[in-house]
Amino acid sequence: MEWGRCTDRELTELEAIVGSENLSTGESALRLASRDESYYTPHIPPQVVVMPGSAEEISAIMKIANPRRIPVTARAAGTSIEGNPVPLFGGIVVDVQRFDKIVEIRPEDFLAVVEAGVGYKDLNKALGQHGLFFPPDPGASAMIGGMIANNASGVRTIKYGATKDYVLKLTVVLADGQIIEIGSLATKSSSGYDLARLFVGSEGTLGIVTQASLRLAGIPSHFSSAIATFPTLEAAAQAVFQIVRWGFSPAALEILTSELVHMLNRDRGLGLREEHTLFLEFQGASEMALEEELGPVQDLCHEAGALSFEPGLGIDERNKLWEARYEAYESIKHTHPGADPFVADVAVPISRYPEMLQYAARVIDDYGVAGYPFGHAGDGNLHVVFMGDAQDKEGGEKIMKANEAIGSRALDLEGTCTGEHGVGIGKRPFMEREHGASLELMRQIKKLLDPQGILNPGKIFL
C-alpha cells in the first residue's frame, strides 16, 4: 500500500493543532529532522516537522495521519547512531522538544515524573539537590523519550542497569490517537503483561511516549576510580572477565585501546600511559568498603598481566577521566577530519568478551579500515567506531562488511547485534537470525498496535 502525503489540507490541519510557530516545512528544519548521528540518510525526506505541546495534540496529529497512512516519526534529541529517528518514507516528524517539564520529583519515593523531551543531564542536575540520580547515562545529550525508545544504557550499566530498569509508568499516544497510561508507581508488580517494558526499546514504532515516571537511585557517598594498563587487549579483556566472574561490582568498567588513550591524551591532556587501558570505578558506603573491593581487583588485574594499576584517583582526576571517556567518540572524529563515523555496537556474554574483542581487532586489520574498538566492557558491550567517507562506495562497503562480520560473530557467541544503540536501520539484517520465530511475534505486536504501519516505518524490521 502507498504512503500518504501531507498536502496543503493536512498542513493546514496540523497547523490548527500545534500553531504556526510549532510547525515547519523549511528546508533547514526538514534537513535537521532527517538525520541523526549516523551514516544513514532518508530515502524520502519528511514533509513537515511539528512540535506539539501535549499528548492531546499528538493524539490529534495521529487522527490525521493514521487514516491517511502518513508516516509519523518521533524525534527527541536526534543523537541515535543507527538511524533510529531518520524518517525513511517522508511524512510527519513529531519533535518532542516542548515536552520539557520535570513534572514532579518525589525524593521520598525515589521517583520522578518527567516529560519525554527532558534531557537526562538536566534531570540529573535537578535530582542532585535531593541526593538522587537517574543512572542510565548514554553520554550524548539524549532526552528521556529517546532513551526509553532506544533502551539506552551507558558506562554505569554494569552496576545500575539500563533504561528499562528505571521505567515505572508511561503515558503513550498510540497510532490511532488513543492516549494510554501503562505501569504503576510501585517498584514491583506482577499485574499482567509488562506493557511498559514493551514500549522500552520500541524505537517509536509502537507509540509516542509523552510522559514517564522513573525510578531513581541515591548518589553514593564514596567513589573510587582506578586505571589499569595492559600489554595486550586480550589481557585487558581477561581482567574484565575475572573481575566480573569473581563477583566484584564496579560501577563502571570501560576498555580503551592504546591508540584511543593516545587521542585522549592529545585532546584532553590526560598524561596517561599509552597502553591498552581499563577505567574502573567503584562506589560504596565507606572508604573501607571501597578498599575491600579495590585490593583484590588490583590483584586480579596483575594476574591478568597488568603493566600498572593506579587506584585512588581524587575527585578532580576522576571527573577528568570520565569526561575524557565521554569524548572518545569526538576524539576519533578529530583524528579523521571530514570522515564519517560508523559505530558498530554488539554485546556478548562476559566469558566471550575476550574472544569478541580479539575478533574485532582482526576484522579491522583484515578489511584494512580505520576502526577503533572500545566499550562498556563490564557489560560485554563492544563498540567499534569505523571512520570512512559515506560517499565513497568502495570504502563504505568495506565498513559495512566489517560491521556485518562483527555483528555476525556476536550472534555466534550467543550475544546480540546491538547492546544499546538499537536496531534502527543498520541492525535490521541481523534480526531474523537473532530472534528466529519470535521476530514474527514482534511483527504481530507491531500490527496490533499500529495496523497501518505509520509509526517510524522501515525500522526494526526489514
Ligand X SMILES: Cc1cc2nc3c(=O)[nH]c(=O)nc-3n(C[C@H](O)[C@H](O)[C@H](O)COP(=O)(O)OP(=O)(O)OC[C@H]3O[C@@H](n4cnc5c(N)ncnc54)[C@H](O)[C@@H]3O)c2cc1C
Residues that bind ligand X (CB under 6 A): 36-37, 73-81, 84-85, 96, 116, 138-140, 142-143, 145-147, 149-150, 152-154, 203-204, 208-209, 329, 420-421, 456
The residue among 149 and 294 lying less far from ligand X, judged by its C-beta, is: 149
The answer to whether 96 and 210 have CB atoms below 8 angstroms apart is yes
CB of 456 to ligand X, least distance (A): 5
Q: Exposed, middle or buried by CB within 10 Å (0-12, 13-18, 19+), for 274?
A: middle
The answer to whether 75 and 95 have CB atoms below 8 angstroms apart is yes
Alpha carbon 235 to its chain's center? 27
Distances (CA, A) of 96 to 58, 115, 164: 10, 9, 20
CB of 374 to ligand X, least distance (A): 11
CB of 219 to ligand X, least distance (A): 20
CB of 102 to ligand X, least distance (A): 15
Q: Which residues lie across from 382 on neighbouring strands?
A: 346
The residue among 208 and 263 lying less far from ligand X, judged by its C-beta, is: 208
**What is the DSSP-derived secondary structure letter of residue 97?**
T
CB of 150 to ligand X, least distance (A): 4
User: How many whole angstroms separate alpha carbon 215 and alpha carbon 211?
Assistant: 13
The residue among 95 and 275 lying less far from ligand X, judged by its C-beta, is: 95
CB of 204 to ligand X, least distance (A): 3
Helices (H) and strands (E) in the chain — how many of each? 16, 18
CB of 70 to ligand X, least distance (A): 15
Helix (H), strand (E) at residue 395: helix 393-412
Q: Which residues lie across from 344 on neighbouring strands?
A: 384
The residue among 10 and 82 lying less far from ligand X, judged by its C-beta, is: 82
Contacts within 8 Å (CB) and 24+ apart, 386-392: 386/341, 386/342, 386/343, 386/344, 387/332, 387/333, 387/335, 387/336, 387/339, 387/340, 387/341, 387/342, 388/339, 388/340, 388/342, 389/338, 389/339, 389/340, 390/39, 390/340
Q: Exposed, middle or buried by CB within 10 Å (0-12, 13-18, 19+), for 358?
A: middle
DSSP state string for 316-364:
HHHHHHHHHHHTHHHHHHHHSTT-EEEEEEEE--GGGHHHHHHHHHHHH
**Positive or negative CA dihedral for 122, 123, 126, 127?**
negative
**What is the DSSP-derived secondary structure letter of residue 4?**
P
Please give the angle made by the CA atoms of 439, 440 and 446, to the nearest 5 degrees: 90
CB of 71 to ligand X, least distance (A): 11
The residue among 150 and 213 lying less far from ligand X, judged by its C-beta, is: 150
The residue among 156 and 238 lying less far from ligand X, judged by its C-beta, is: 156
The residue among 79 and 258 lying less far from ligand X, judged by its C-beta, is: 79
SS3 237: helix
Q: Which residue is closest to ligand X by CB?
A: 146
According to DSSP, the β-strands at 72-75 and 92-95 are parallel
CB of 22 to ligand X, least distance (A): 16
The residue among 134 and 309 lying less far from ligand X, judged by its C-beta, is: 134
CB of 62 to ligand X, least distance (A): 12
How many residues are given for the chain?
462
User: How many whole angstroms separate alpha carbon 425 and alpha carbon 335?
Assistant: 26
Amino acid, single-letter form, for residue 387: M
The residue among 209 and 227 lying less far from ligand X, judged by its C-beta, is: 209
The residue among 221 and 319 lying less far from ligand X, judged by its C-beta, is: 319
CB of 329 to ligand X, least distance (A): 4
